[in-house]
Structure 1
Amino acid sequence: MKDPVETRADDSEDLYDIADWEPRTALDRLAIRTYRGILRAGRRFVVALGVFILLVILAVSGAGGLIIDDPFILGLAAFSAVPAGVLALYIYRTDITTREPPGLLLATFVLSVLFAGFAAIINTVFGFVQLFPLVGIVLFFYLVVGPVEESVKLLAVWLYPYRDSRFDSVVDGAVYGAMAGLGFAAIENVLYITQNLQTPASVLLQTSGGLVGGVTETIQAGGQIAAVRGLAGPGHVVYSAFAGYYLGLAKFNRENAGPIVAKGLLIAAFIHATYNTLVGLVPGLVSLLVPGVPVLVLFFGFVVVYQGVFLYILYRKLKRYEAAYRQAHEGAERASEFEVEKTEFDPATR
Protein backbone atom coordinates (compact mmCIF):
# COMPACT_ATOMS: atom_id res chain seq x y z
CA MET A 1 0.00 0.00 0.00
CA LYS A 2 1.34 3.40 -0.97
CA ASP A 3 0.54 6.99 -0.07
CA PRO A 4 -1.33 8.90 -2.84
CA VAL A 5 1.70 11.13 -3.38
CA GLU A 6 4.01 8.16 -3.88
CA THR A 7 1.48 6.43 -6.13
CA ARG A 8 1.30 9.31 -8.59
CA ALA A 9 4.85 10.59 -8.31
CA ASP A 10 7.48 10.05 -10.96
CA ASP A 11 10.18 7.53 -10.10
CA SER A 12 12.82 10.23 -10.39
CA GLU A 13 11.32 12.31 -7.56
CA ASP A 14 12.93 12.10 -4.14
CA LEU A 15 10.14 11.61 -1.59
CA TYR A 16 12.37 10.92 1.40
CA ASP A 17 10.66 12.05 4.62
CA ILE A 18 7.65 13.17 2.56
CA ALA A 19 5.86 10.00 1.52
CA ASP A 20 8.73 7.52 1.65
CA TRP A 21 11.51 6.73 4.09
CA GLU A 22 14.82 4.96 4.25
CA PRO A 23 17.75 5.35 6.65
CA ARG A 24 20.01 8.10 5.32
CA THR A 25 21.09 10.31 8.20
CA ALA A 26 22.71 9.71 11.56
CA LEU A 27 19.36 10.43 13.20
CA ASP A 28 17.70 7.77 11.05
CA ARG A 29 20.29 5.22 12.08
CA LEU A 30 19.90 6.24 15.72
CA ALA A 31 16.14 5.75 15.40
CA ILE A 32 16.70 2.22 14.08
CA ARG A 33 19.08 1.37 16.92
CA THR A 34 16.66 2.84 19.46
CA TYR A 35 13.77 0.81 18.09
CA ARG A 36 15.76 -2.41 18.12
CA GLY A 37 17.03 -1.66 21.60
CA ILE A 38 13.48 -1.19 22.88
CA LEU A 39 12.47 -4.52 21.36
CA ARG A 40 15.42 -6.32 22.93
CA ALA A 41 14.77 -4.70 26.30
CA GLY A 42 11.10 -5.62 26.08
CA ARG A 43 11.88 -9.27 25.36
CA ARG A 44 14.37 -9.41 28.23
CA PHE A 45 11.85 -7.82 30.56
CA VAL A 46 9.23 -10.42 29.64
CA VAL A 47 11.71 -13.23 30.32
CA ALA A 48 12.80 -11.68 33.63
CA LEU A 49 9.17 -11.24 34.65
CA GLY A 50 8.52 -14.88 33.81
CA VAL A 51 11.43 -15.98 36.01
CA PHE A 52 10.22 -13.81 38.89
CA ILE A 53 6.60 -15.02 38.71
CA LEU A 54 7.63 -18.67 38.49
CA LEU A 55 9.91 -18.34 41.52
CA VAL A 56 7.10 -16.67 43.47
CA ILE A 57 4.69 -19.47 42.53
CA LEU A 58 7.18 -22.15 43.58
CA ALA A 59 7.76 -20.37 46.88
CA VAL A 60 4.14 -19.54 47.73
CA SER A 61 2.77 -22.95 46.73
CA GLY A 62 5.44 -24.73 48.71
CA ALA A 63 6.50 -26.66 45.62
CA GLY A 64 10.03 -25.26 45.74
CA GLY A 65 10.58 -26.26 49.35
CA LEU A 66 9.11 -29.70 48.78
CA ILE A 67 11.41 -30.27 45.81
CA ILE A 68 14.43 -29.22 47.87
CA ASP A 69 13.41 -31.60 50.66
CA ASP A 70 12.46 -34.40 48.29
CA PRO A 71 14.42 -34.24 45.00
CA PHE A 72 12.86 -37.54 43.92
CA ILE A 73 9.82 -35.48 42.97
CA LEU A 74 11.74 -34.24 39.94
CA GLY A 75 12.20 -37.86 38.93
CA LEU A 76 8.44 -38.40 39.07
CA ALA A 77 7.92 -35.21 37.08
CA ALA A 78 10.43 -36.35 34.47
CA PHE A 79 8.70 -39.74 34.29
CA SER A 80 5.32 -38.08 33.80
CA ALA A 81 6.73 -35.98 30.94
CA VAL A 82 8.00 -39.00 28.98
CA PRO A 83 4.85 -39.48 26.83
CA ALA A 84 4.79 -35.78 25.95
CA GLY A 85 8.52 -35.92 25.21
CA VAL A 86 8.09 -38.90 22.89
CA LEU A 87 5.32 -37.10 21.03
CA ALA A 88 7.39 -33.92 20.71
CA LEU A 89 10.27 -36.02 19.37
CA TYR A 90 7.96 -37.59 16.79
CA ILE A 91 6.80 -34.18 15.58
CA TYR A 92 10.43 -33.07 15.45
CA ARG A 93 11.27 -36.02 13.22
CA THR A 94 8.38 -35.27 10.85
CA ASP A 95 10.12 -32.06 9.79
CA ILE A 96 11.13 -32.92 6.24
CA THR A 97 13.02 -29.67 5.67
CA THR A 98 15.98 -29.24 8.02
CA ARG A 99 16.60 -30.39 11.58
CA GLU A 100 16.02 -27.62 14.08
CA PRO A 101 19.02 -26.53 16.18
CA PRO A 102 19.07 -28.00 19.71
CA GLY A 103 19.76 -24.55 21.14
CA LEU A 104 16.55 -23.10 19.72
CA LEU A 105 14.55 -26.12 20.87
CA LEU A 106 15.96 -25.86 24.39
CA ALA A 107 15.31 -22.12 24.50
CA THR A 108 11.68 -22.71 23.51
CA PHE A 109 11.31 -25.35 26.22
CA VAL A 110 12.77 -23.07 28.91
CA LEU A 111 10.72 -20.05 27.85
CA SER A 112 7.53 -22.10 27.97
CA VAL A 113 8.40 -23.26 31.48
CA LEU A 114 8.92 -19.65 32.54
CA PHE A 115 5.81 -18.27 30.85
CA ALA A 116 3.59 -20.88 32.48
CA GLY A 117 3.57 -18.51 35.43
CA PHE A 118 1.75 -15.91 33.33
CA ALA A 119 -1.02 -18.42 32.69
CA ALA A 120 -1.22 -19.31 36.37
CA ILE A 121 -1.65 -15.66 37.36
CA ILE A 122 -4.28 -14.90 34.71
CA ASN A 123 -6.21 -18.10 35.42
CA THR A 124 -6.27 -17.19 39.10
CA VAL A 125 -7.39 -13.61 38.49
CA PHE A 126 -10.27 -14.73 36.29
CA GLY A 127 -11.14 -17.74 38.41
CA PHE A 128 -14.34 -16.00 39.50
CA VAL A 129 -15.86 -16.99 36.14
CA GLN A 130 -16.30 -20.47 37.59
CA LEU A 131 -18.80 -19.08 40.10
CA PHE A 132 -21.46 -18.57 37.44
CA PRO A 133 -24.12 -21.24 37.97
CA LEU A 134 -24.25 -24.26 35.65
CA VAL A 135 -22.00 -22.91 32.88
CA GLY A 136 -19.30 -21.21 34.95
CA ILE A 137 -16.67 -23.94 34.71
CA VAL A 138 -17.29 -24.38 30.98
CA LEU A 139 -16.94 -20.64 30.36
CA PHE A 140 -13.77 -20.66 32.43
CA PHE A 141 -12.24 -23.36 30.23
CA TYR A 142 -13.28 -21.78 26.92
CA LEU A 143 -12.74 -18.10 27.72
CA VAL A 144 -9.79 -18.24 30.11
CA VAL A 145 -7.82 -21.48 30.42
CA GLY A 146 -7.74 -22.52 26.77
CA PRO A 147 -6.93 -19.13 25.20
CA VAL A 148 -4.52 -18.05 27.94
CA GLU A 149 -2.45 -21.23 28.14
CA GLU A 150 -2.21 -21.59 24.38
CA SER A 151 -1.21 -17.94 24.06
CA VAL A 152 1.64 -18.16 26.57
CA LYS A 153 2.97 -21.29 24.89
CA LEU A 154 2.87 -19.54 21.52
CA LEU A 155 4.59 -16.54 23.10
CA ALA A 156 7.55 -18.80 23.89
CA VAL A 157 7.83 -19.62 20.18
CA TRP A 158 7.24 -16.09 18.93
CA LEU A 159 9.66 -14.42 21.33
CA TYR A 160 12.78 -16.27 20.20
CA PRO A 161 12.81 -19.05 17.57
CA TYR A 162 10.23 -17.34 15.34
CA ARG A 163 12.62 -14.43 14.86
CA ASP A 164 15.57 -16.66 14.02
CA SER A 165 16.54 -17.18 10.38
CA ARG A 166 16.71 -20.93 11.01
CA PHE A 167 12.93 -20.90 11.44
CA ASP A 168 12.72 -21.28 7.69
CA SER A 169 9.60 -23.31 6.92
CA VAL A 170 5.95 -23.50 7.93
CA VAL A 171 6.38 -26.90 9.56
CA ASP A 172 9.06 -25.49 11.86
CA GLY A 173 6.23 -23.79 13.71
CA ALA A 174 4.73 -27.17 14.62
CA VAL A 175 8.11 -28.40 15.87
CA TYR A 176 8.70 -25.40 18.11
CA GLY A 177 5.06 -25.38 19.18
CA ALA A 178 5.40 -29.00 20.27
CA MET A 179 8.52 -28.13 22.25
CA ALA A 180 6.67 -25.27 23.95
CA GLY A 181 3.89 -27.70 24.83
CA LEU A 182 6.45 -30.06 26.34
CA GLY A 183 7.89 -27.29 28.51
CA PHE A 184 4.46 -26.21 29.71
CA ALA A 185 3.47 -29.81 30.48
CA ALA A 186 6.72 -30.38 32.38
CA ILE A 187 6.29 -27.48 34.81
CA GLU A 188 2.56 -28.16 35.14
CA ASN A 189 3.36 -31.75 36.09
CA VAL A 190 5.82 -30.56 38.73
CA LEU A 191 3.18 -28.33 40.30
CA TYR A 192 0.45 -30.98 40.21
CA ILE A 193 2.70 -33.65 41.71
CA THR A 194 3.95 -31.41 44.52
CA GLN A 195 0.38 -30.38 45.33
CA ASN A 196 -0.59 -34.04 45.69
CA LEU A 197 2.37 -35.05 47.83
CA GLN A 198 1.79 -34.40 51.49
CA THR A 199 4.99 -35.68 53.11
CA PRO A 200 8.44 -34.24 52.39
CA ALA A 201 11.44 -36.52 52.05
CA SER A 202 12.87 -35.47 55.42
CA VAL A 203 9.87 -37.09 57.13
CA LEU A 204 9.89 -40.06 54.81
CA LEU A 205 13.50 -40.79 55.61
CA GLN A 206 12.74 -40.76 59.32
CA THR A 207 9.66 -42.96 59.08
CA SER A 208 10.71 -45.35 56.35
CA GLY A 209 14.23 -46.15 57.40
CA GLY A 210 16.64 -44.69 54.90
CA LEU A 211 17.11 -43.49 51.37
CA VAL A 212 15.47 -46.46 49.65
CA GLY A 213 12.42 -46.14 51.86
CA GLY A 214 12.18 -42.45 51.02
CA VAL A 215 12.25 -43.17 47.30
CA THR A 216 9.62 -45.88 47.69
CA GLU A 217 7.29 -43.69 49.72
CA THR A 218 7.64 -40.83 47.27
CA ILE A 219 6.83 -43.08 44.33
CA GLN A 220 3.84 -44.57 46.13
CA ALA A 221 2.52 -41.16 47.10
CA GLY A 222 3.00 -39.48 43.74
CA GLY A 223 2.92 -42.36 41.29
CA GLN A 224 -0.78 -42.16 40.54
CA ILE A 225 -0.85 -38.44 39.85
CA ALA A 226 2.34 -38.82 37.80
CA ALA A 227 0.62 -41.46 35.67
CA VAL A 228 -2.44 -39.24 35.21
CA ARG A 229 -0.27 -36.28 34.25
CA GLY A 230 1.68 -38.52 31.91
CA LEU A 231 -1.48 -39.00 29.87
CA ALA A 232 -2.55 -35.37 30.06
CA GLY A 233 0.85 -33.98 29.04
CA PRO A 234 0.76 -35.01 25.36
CA GLY A 235 -2.33 -32.88 24.94
CA HIS A 236 -0.29 -29.74 25.50
CA VAL A 237 2.11 -30.88 22.77
CA VAL A 238 -0.72 -31.48 20.29
CA TYR A 239 -2.55 -28.23 21.04
CA SER A 240 0.50 -26.01 20.75
CA ALA A 241 1.75 -27.87 17.66
CA PHE A 242 -1.45 -26.77 15.92
CA ALA A 243 -0.97 -23.16 17.05
CA GLY A 244 2.71 -23.27 16.14
CA TYR A 245 1.97 -24.59 12.67
CA TYR A 246 -0.22 -21.59 11.96
CA LEU A 247 2.41 -19.27 13.41
CA GLY A 248 4.80 -20.74 10.85
CA LEU A 249 2.20 -20.24 8.14
CA ALA A 250 1.85 -16.62 9.24
CA LYS A 251 5.60 -16.03 8.98
CA PHE A 252 5.49 -16.76 5.26
CA ASN A 253 2.18 -14.98 4.62
CA ARG A 254 2.83 -11.62 6.23
CA GLU A 255 -0.12 -9.88 4.58
CA ASN A 256 -2.53 -12.12 6.52
CA ALA A 257 -0.32 -12.92 9.49
CA GLY A 258 -2.71 -11.68 12.16
CA PRO A 259 -5.76 -13.71 11.11
CA ILE A 260 -3.61 -16.80 10.53
CA VAL A 261 -2.15 -16.64 14.05
CA ALA A 262 -5.64 -16.05 15.45
CA LYS A 263 -6.91 -19.12 13.58
CA GLY A 264 -4.19 -21.29 15.09
CA LEU A 265 -4.92 -20.02 18.59
CA LEU A 266 -8.66 -20.55 18.14
CA ILE A 267 -8.10 -24.15 17.05
CA ALA A 268 -5.67 -24.90 19.88
CA ALA A 269 -7.79 -23.17 22.53
CA PHE A 270 -10.95 -24.96 21.39
CA ILE A 271 -9.35 -28.41 21.48
CA HIS A 272 -7.81 -27.63 24.86
CA ALA A 273 -11.00 -26.26 26.43
CA THR A 274 -13.12 -29.09 25.06
CA TYR A 275 -10.75 -31.62 26.59
CA ASN A 276 -10.89 -29.88 29.97
CA THR A 277 -14.68 -29.80 29.81
CA LEU A 278 -15.24 -33.41 28.75
CA VAL A 279 -12.54 -35.16 30.75
CA GLY A 280 -14.44 -34.55 33.97
CA LEU A 281 -17.79 -35.64 32.53
CA VAL A 282 -17.40 -38.43 30.01
CA PRO A 283 -15.67 -41.08 32.19
CA GLY A 284 -18.32 -40.67 34.90
CA LEU A 285 -21.20 -40.87 32.43
CA VAL A 286 -19.73 -43.91 30.71
CA SER A 287 -19.30 -45.63 34.08
CA LEU A 288 -23.08 -45.44 34.51
CA LEU A 289 -23.53 -47.31 31.25
CA VAL A 290 -20.83 -49.90 31.93
CA PRO A 291 -20.88 -50.46 35.70
CA GLY A 292 -17.99 -52.39 37.11
CA VAL A 293 -15.31 -50.70 34.99
CA PRO A 294 -13.12 -48.47 37.17
CA VAL A 295 -13.51 -44.77 36.45
CA LEU A 296 -9.72 -44.44 36.25
CA VAL A 297 -9.66 -46.94 33.38
CA LEU A 298 -12.41 -45.02 31.60
CA PHE A 299 -10.46 -41.81 32.19
CA PHE A 300 -7.37 -43.30 30.56
CA GLY A 301 -9.48 -44.55 27.67
CA PHE A 302 -11.09 -41.16 27.09
CA VAL A 303 -7.74 -39.34 27.16
CA VAL A 304 -6.17 -41.75 24.68
CA VAL A 305 -9.13 -41.57 22.28
CA TYR A 306 -9.59 -37.80 22.48
CA GLN A 307 -5.95 -36.92 22.07
CA GLY A 308 -5.51 -39.65 19.49
CA VAL A 309 -8.18 -38.10 17.26
CA PHE A 310 -6.51 -34.70 17.21
CA LEU A 311 -3.05 -36.20 16.93
CA TYR A 312 -4.26 -37.96 13.79
CA ILE A 313 -5.59 -34.67 12.40
CA LEU A 314 -2.23 -33.05 13.13
CA TYR A 315 -0.48 -36.02 11.52
CA ARG A 316 -2.55 -35.56 8.35
CA LYS A 317 -1.70 -31.85 8.26
CA LEU A 318 2.02 -32.55 8.60
CA LYS A 319 1.81 -35.25 5.94
CA ARG A 320 0.10 -32.84 3.55
CA TYR A 321 2.98 -30.44 4.03
CA GLU A 322 5.47 -33.26 3.47
CA ALA A 323 3.73 -34.29 0.24
CA ALA A 324 3.70 -30.70 -1.02
CA TYR A 325 7.36 -30.30 -0.12
CA ARG A 326 8.35 -33.49 -1.96
CA GLN A 327 6.30 -32.55 -5.00
CA ALA A 328 7.83 -29.09 -5.18
CA HIS A 329 11.38 -30.38 -4.89
CA GLU A 330 10.89 -33.31 -7.23
CA GLY A 331 9.42 -30.93 -9.81
CA ALA A 332 12.42 -28.65 -9.47
CA GLU A 333 14.81 -31.59 -9.84
CA ARG A 334 13.03 -32.85 -12.96
CA ALA A 335 13.16 -29.38 -14.49
CA SER A 336 16.88 -29.11 -13.81
CA GLU A 337 17.51 -32.44 -15.55
CA PHE A 338 16.28 -30.99 -18.84
CA GLU A 339 18.36 -27.85 -18.59
CA VAL A 340 21.38 -28.11 -20.90
CA GLU A 341 24.10 -25.66 -21.65
CA LYS A 342 23.41 -23.59 -24.75
CA THR A 343 25.85 -23.58 -27.64
CA GLU A 344 26.49 -21.09 -30.39
CA PHE A 345 24.14 -23.10 -32.63
CA ASP A 346 21.13 -22.66 -30.33
CA PRO A 347 18.73 -19.83 -31.19
CA ALA A 348 18.61 -16.90 -28.82
CA THR A 349 15.69 -16.83 -26.38
CA ARG A 350 13.43 -13.84 -26.81
Structure 2
Amino acid sequence: MTPNLIVLAFAPVVILLAYIWFRDKYEKEPFKMLFTALLFGAFSVIPILLVEEFFMEFLPLFSGTMQVFLHSFVVAALTEEFFKFVFLYLLIWKSPEFNEKFDGIVYAVYVSLGFAAVENVMYVFDYGMQVGFTRAITAVPAHFLFGVTMGYFVGLAKFYPERKKRLIRAALLFPILLHGVYDFILMMGHPFVLLIFIPFVVFMWIYGLKKMKTLSAQSIYRNDFTVEEDLLKKL
Protein backbone atom coordinates (compact mmCIF):
# COMPACT_ATOMS: atom_id res chain seq x y z
CA MET A 1 0.00 0.00 0.00
CA THR A 2 1.44 3.36 -1.01
CA PRO A 3 1.68 6.26 1.46
CA ASN A 4 -1.07 8.08 -0.44
CA LEU A 5 -3.45 5.17 0.04
CA ILE A 6 -2.58 4.93 3.72
CA VAL A 7 -3.34 8.63 4.20
CA LEU A 8 -6.57 8.27 2.25
CA ALA A 9 -7.66 5.30 4.36
CA PHE A 10 -7.01 6.99 7.70
CA ALA A 11 -7.72 10.68 6.99
CA PRO A 12 -11.54 10.57 7.27
CA VAL A 13 -11.25 8.50 10.45
CA VAL A 14 -8.83 10.98 12.06
CA ILE A 15 -11.00 13.95 11.08
CA LEU A 16 -14.11 12.43 12.66
CA LEU A 17 -12.21 11.35 15.77
CA ALA A 18 -11.00 14.92 16.21
CA TYR A 19 -14.50 16.25 15.62
CA ILE A 20 -16.13 14.16 18.36
CA TRP A 21 -13.23 14.97 20.70
CA PHE A 22 -13.85 18.69 20.22
CA ARG A 23 -17.59 18.18 20.67
CA ASP A 24 -16.88 16.74 24.12
CA LYS A 25 -16.69 20.28 25.46
CA TYR A 26 -17.11 19.99 29.20
CA GLU A 27 -14.95 17.09 30.37
CA LYS A 28 -12.48 15.43 27.99
CA GLU A 29 -11.94 11.70 28.16
CA PRO A 30 -8.43 10.40 28.93
CA PHE A 31 -6.38 9.63 25.83
CA LYS A 32 -5.57 6.19 27.21
CA MET A 33 -9.27 5.28 27.27
CA LEU A 34 -9.87 6.76 23.83
CA PHE A 35 -6.95 4.84 22.38
CA THR A 36 -8.21 1.65 24.03
CA ALA A 37 -11.64 2.28 22.50
CA LEU A 38 -10.01 2.54 19.07
CA LEU A 39 -8.14 -0.72 19.66
CA PHE A 40 -11.32 -2.45 20.82
CA GLY A 41 -13.04 -1.30 17.63
CA ALA A 42 -10.14 -2.53 15.53
CA PHE A 43 -10.09 -5.93 17.26
CA SER A 44 -13.85 -6.26 16.76
CA VAL A 45 -13.05 -6.87 13.09
CA ILE A 46 -11.86 -10.40 13.95
CA PRO A 47 -15.15 -11.85 15.28
CA ILE A 48 -17.10 -9.77 12.77
CA LEU A 49 -15.25 -11.26 9.81
CA LEU A 50 -15.65 -14.79 11.18
CA VAL A 51 -19.40 -14.43 11.75
CA GLU A 52 -19.96 -12.65 8.45
CA GLU A 53 -18.13 -15.42 6.64
CA PHE A 54 -20.38 -17.97 8.37
CA PHE A 55 -23.55 -16.08 7.38
CA MET A 56 -22.33 -15.65 3.82
CA GLU A 57 -22.46 -19.44 3.39
CA PHE A 58 -26.25 -19.27 3.58
CA LEU A 59 -26.83 -16.31 1.25
CA PRO A 60 -26.87 -18.43 -1.94
CA LEU A 61 -30.02 -20.09 -0.54
CA PHE A 62 -31.81 -16.83 -1.31
CA SER A 63 -31.99 -14.60 -4.34
CA GLY A 64 -33.00 -11.13 -5.48
CA THR A 65 -34.29 -8.62 -2.96
CA MET A 66 -34.39 -11.15 -0.11
CA GLN A 67 -30.70 -11.92 -0.56
CA VAL A 68 -29.83 -8.21 -0.58
CA PHE A 69 -32.02 -7.66 2.50
CA LEU A 70 -30.32 -10.46 4.46
CA HIS A 71 -26.87 -9.32 3.35
CA SER A 72 -27.62 -5.75 4.43
CA PHE A 73 -29.46 -6.29 7.70
CA VAL A 74 -28.05 -9.59 8.99
CA VAL A 75 -24.61 -10.24 7.51
CA ALA A 76 -23.44 -6.62 7.71
CA ALA A 77 -25.60 -4.52 10.04
CA LEU A 78 -26.50 -7.04 12.76
CA THR A 79 -23.05 -8.60 12.94
CA GLU A 80 -21.05 -5.38 12.91
CA GLU A 81 -23.23 -3.39 15.30
CA PHE A 82 -23.62 -6.31 17.71
CA PHE A 83 -19.88 -6.82 18.13
CA LYS A 84 -19.20 -3.07 18.28
CA PHE A 85 -21.76 -2.91 21.08
CA VAL A 86 -20.18 -5.85 22.93
CA PHE A 87 -16.70 -4.30 22.80
CA LEU A 88 -18.10 -0.89 23.83
CA TYR A 89 -19.99 -2.36 26.77
CA LEU A 90 -16.98 -4.36 27.99
CA LEU A 91 -14.79 -1.26 27.83
CA ILE A 92 -16.87 1.41 29.47
CA TRP A 93 -19.87 0.13 31.41
CA LYS A 94 -18.05 -0.27 34.73
CA SER A 95 -15.36 2.32 34.03
CA PRO A 96 -15.22 5.34 36.37
CA GLU A 97 -14.45 7.43 33.28
CA PHE A 98 -18.01 6.81 32.04
CA ASN A 99 -19.38 9.52 34.29
CA GLU A 100 -21.80 11.47 32.09
CA LYS A 101 -24.22 10.73 29.26
CA PHE A 102 -22.17 12.27 26.43
CA ASP A 103 -19.33 9.85 27.24
CA GLY A 104 -21.48 7.10 25.74
CA ILE A 105 -21.37 8.87 22.38
CA VAL A 106 -17.64 9.59 22.56
CA TYR A 107 -16.63 6.02 23.31
CA ALA A 108 -19.13 4.48 20.91
CA VAL A 109 -17.80 6.67 18.11
CA TYR A 110 -14.19 5.73 18.90
CA VAL A 111 -15.05 2.02 18.90
CA SER A 112 -17.03 2.39 15.69
CA LEU A 113 -14.25 4.33 13.97
CA GLY A 114 -11.65 1.84 15.17
CA PHE A 115 -13.59 -0.76 13.24
CA ALA A 116 -14.08 1.60 10.29
CA ALA A 117 -10.34 2.32 10.11
CA VAL A 118 -9.45 -1.35 9.67
CA GLU A 119 -12.32 -1.92 7.25
CA ASN A 120 -11.28 1.13 5.25
CA VAL A 121 -7.68 -0.05 4.97
CA MET A 122 -8.93 -3.40 3.67
CA TYR A 123 -11.14 -1.78 1.04
CA VAL A 124 -8.56 0.75 -0.09
CA PHE A 125 -5.87 -1.94 -0.28
CA ASP A 126 -8.14 -4.12 -2.44
CA TYR A 127 -9.84 -1.52 -4.63
CA GLY A 128 -7.62 1.54 -4.71
CA MET A 129 -7.87 5.31 -4.70
CA GLN A 130 -11.34 5.77 -6.18
CA VAL A 131 -13.00 3.52 -3.62
CA GLY A 132 -11.01 5.28 -0.90
CA PHE A 133 -12.39 8.68 -1.90
CA THR A 134 -15.93 7.32 -2.07
CA ARG A 135 -15.72 5.70 1.36
CA ALA A 136 -14.20 8.84 2.86
CA ILE A 137 -17.48 10.69 2.29
CA THR A 138 -19.89 7.78 2.69
CA ALA A 139 -18.98 4.65 4.65
CA VAL A 140 -16.68 6.19 7.27
CA PRO A 141 -19.10 9.02 8.19
CA ALA A 142 -21.88 6.41 8.25
CA HIS A 143 -19.99 4.37 10.87
CA PHE A 144 -19.49 7.59 12.82
CA LEU A 145 -23.25 8.17 12.84
CA PHE A 146 -24.02 4.57 13.75
CA GLY A 147 -21.68 5.09 16.70
CA VAL A 148 -23.40 8.32 17.73
CA THR A 149 -26.74 6.55 17.74
CA MET A 150 -25.46 3.61 19.76
CA GLY A 151 -23.64 5.85 22.22
CA TYR A 152 -26.69 8.06 22.74
CA PHE A 153 -28.76 5.17 24.05
CA VAL A 154 -25.87 3.60 25.98
CA GLY A 155 -25.27 6.95 27.67
CA LEU A 156 -28.92 7.16 28.71
CA ALA A 157 -29.01 3.51 29.82
CA LYS A 158 -26.11 4.09 32.20
CA PHE A 159 -27.74 7.01 33.99
CA TYR A 160 -31.38 5.93 33.88
CA PRO A 161 -31.00 2.39 35.28
CA GLU A 162 -34.73 1.95 35.69
CA ARG A 163 -34.98 2.10 31.89
CA LYS A 164 -31.75 0.21 31.20
CA LYS A 165 -33.22 -2.81 29.39
CA ARG A 166 -35.29 -0.75 26.97
CA LEU A 167 -32.43 1.65 26.27
CA ILE A 168 -29.89 -1.14 25.73
CA ARG A 169 -32.26 -2.71 23.21
CA ALA A 170 -32.49 0.66 21.49
CA ALA A 171 -28.68 0.96 21.50
CA LEU A 172 -28.58 -2.20 19.40
CA LEU A 173 -31.76 -1.84 17.34
CA PHE A 174 -31.40 1.72 16.03
CA PRO A 175 -27.81 1.40 14.72
CA ILE A 176 -28.74 -1.94 13.11
CA LEU A 177 -31.73 -0.35 11.39
CA LEU A 178 -29.75 2.66 10.16
CA HIS A 179 -26.86 0.47 9.03
CA GLY A 180 -29.19 -2.01 7.35
CA VAL A 181 -31.12 0.64 5.43
CA TYR A 182 -27.87 2.33 4.40
CA ASP A 183 -26.39 -0.91 3.03
CA PHE A 184 -29.67 -2.03 1.48
CA ILE A 185 -29.95 1.16 -0.58
CA LEU A 186 -26.40 0.77 -1.90
CA MET A 187 -26.53 -2.99 -2.44
CA MET A 188 -29.81 -2.85 -4.34
CA GLY A 189 -28.26 -0.44 -6.81
CA HIS A 190 -31.68 0.27 -8.32
CA PRO A 191 -31.96 3.85 -9.67
CA PHE A 192 -35.27 4.42 -7.88
CA VAL A 193 -33.89 3.15 -4.55
CA LEU A 194 -30.71 5.19 -4.96
CA LEU A 195 -32.84 8.33 -5.19
CA ILE A 196 -33.42 8.14 -1.46
CA PHE A 197 -29.73 7.66 -0.58
CA ILE A 198 -28.83 11.35 -0.21
CA PRO A 199 -32.03 12.22 1.72
CA PHE A 200 -31.34 9.26 4.00
CA VAL A 201 -27.75 10.38 4.65
CA VAL A 202 -28.98 13.92 5.37
CA PHE A 203 -31.53 12.45 7.78
CA MET A 204 -28.80 10.48 9.57
CA TRP A 205 -26.67 13.61 10.00
CA ILE A 206 -29.59 15.66 11.33
CA TYR A 207 -30.55 12.80 13.66
CA GLY A 208 -26.97 12.28 14.87
CA LEU A 209 -26.19 15.96 15.42
CA LYS A 210 -29.42 16.37 17.35
CA LYS A 211 -28.51 13.45 19.61
CA MET A 212 -25.06 14.94 20.25
CA LYS A 213 -26.55 18.34 21.05
CA THR A 214 -29.08 16.80 23.42
CA LEU A 215 -26.55 14.92 25.53
CA SER A 216 -23.95 17.68 25.41
CA ALA A 217 -26.55 20.02 26.87
CA GLN A 218 -27.06 17.47 29.66
CA SER A 219 -23.41 17.50 30.77
CA ILE A 220 -23.13 17.52 34.55
CA TYR A 221 -19.98 19.62 34.12
CA ARG A 222 -21.89 22.57 32.70
CA ASN A 223 -22.16 25.49 35.09
CA ASP A 224 -25.86 25.82 34.26
CA PHE A 225 -26.64 22.09 34.35
CA THR A 226 -30.26 21.18 35.03
CA VAL A 227 -32.08 17.91 34.39
CA GLU A 228 -34.03 18.18 31.16
CA GLU A 229 -37.52 17.01 32.03
CA ASP A 230 -38.59 16.74 28.39
CA LEU A 231 -35.77 14.24 27.80
CA LEU A 232 -36.93 12.11 30.69
CA LYS A 233 -40.49 12.05 29.37
CA LYS A 234 -39.31 10.72 26.01
CA LEU A 235 -37.59 7.68 27.51
Query: TM-score, length-normalised on structure 2?
Result: 0.83
Report deviation, 1:77.
3.6
Q: Distance in 1 between matches of 2:222 and 2:44?
A: 38
Aligned to 2:44: 115
Report deviation, 1:305.
4.8
- Residues 326/112 of structure 1: CA separation in 2 closer, same or farther (3 Å cut): closer
- Contact 1:77 1:189 (8 Å CA) reproduced: no
Q: Distance in 1 between matches of 2:124 and 2:8?
A: 11
Aligned to 1:252: 159
**3-state secondary structure, aligned to 2:211:** helix
Matched, 1:266 2:177: no
Aligned to 2:123: 192
Report deviation, 1:83.
2.4
Aligned to 1:223: 129
Aligned to 1:49: none
Q: Distance in 2 between matches of 1:157 and 1:115?
A: 10
- Contact 1:182 1:236 (8 Å CA) reproduced: yes
Q: Distance in 2 between matches of 1:331 and 1:180?
A: 28
Q: Distance in 1 between matches of 2:211 and 2:19?
A: 14
Structure 2 counterpart of 1:103, one-letter code:
K
Aligned to 2:9: 80
Instruction: Tell me which structure has the larger Cα radius of gyration.
Output: 1
Report deviation, 1:326.
8.2
Structure 2 counterpart of 1:312, one-letter code:
I
**Candidates 61, 64, 77, aligned match of 1:146:** 77
Query: What RMSD in Å do the two structures reach over aligned CA positions?
Result: 2.6
Aligned to 1:240: 147
- Contact 2:48 2:80 (8 Å CA) reproduced: yes
**3-state secondary structure, aligned to 1:166:** coil
- Contact 1:180 1:237 (8 Å CA) reproduced: no
Unaligned runs of 5+ in 2: 227-235
Matched, 1:318 2:212: yes
- Aligned-pair identity in percent equals 23
Aligned to 1:168: 99
Q: Distance in 2 between matches of 1:317 and 1:115?
A: 25
Structure 2 counterpart of 1:247, one-letter code:
V
Structure 2 counterpart of 1:320, one-letter code:
T
Q: Distance in 2 between matches of 1:250 and 1:179?
A: 19
- Contact 1:91 1:175 (8 Å CA) reproduced: yes
Unaligned runs of 5+ in 1: 1-69, 197-221, 288-298, 333-350
How many residues were matched structurally?
A: 223
Question: After the TM superposition, which of the residue ranges 251-260 and 173-182 deviates more from structure 2?
Answer: 251-260
Report deviation, 1:304.
5.7
Q: Which has the higher contact order (CA 8 A, sep 6+)?
A: 2
Q: Distance in 2 between matches of 1:328 and 1:194?
A: 44
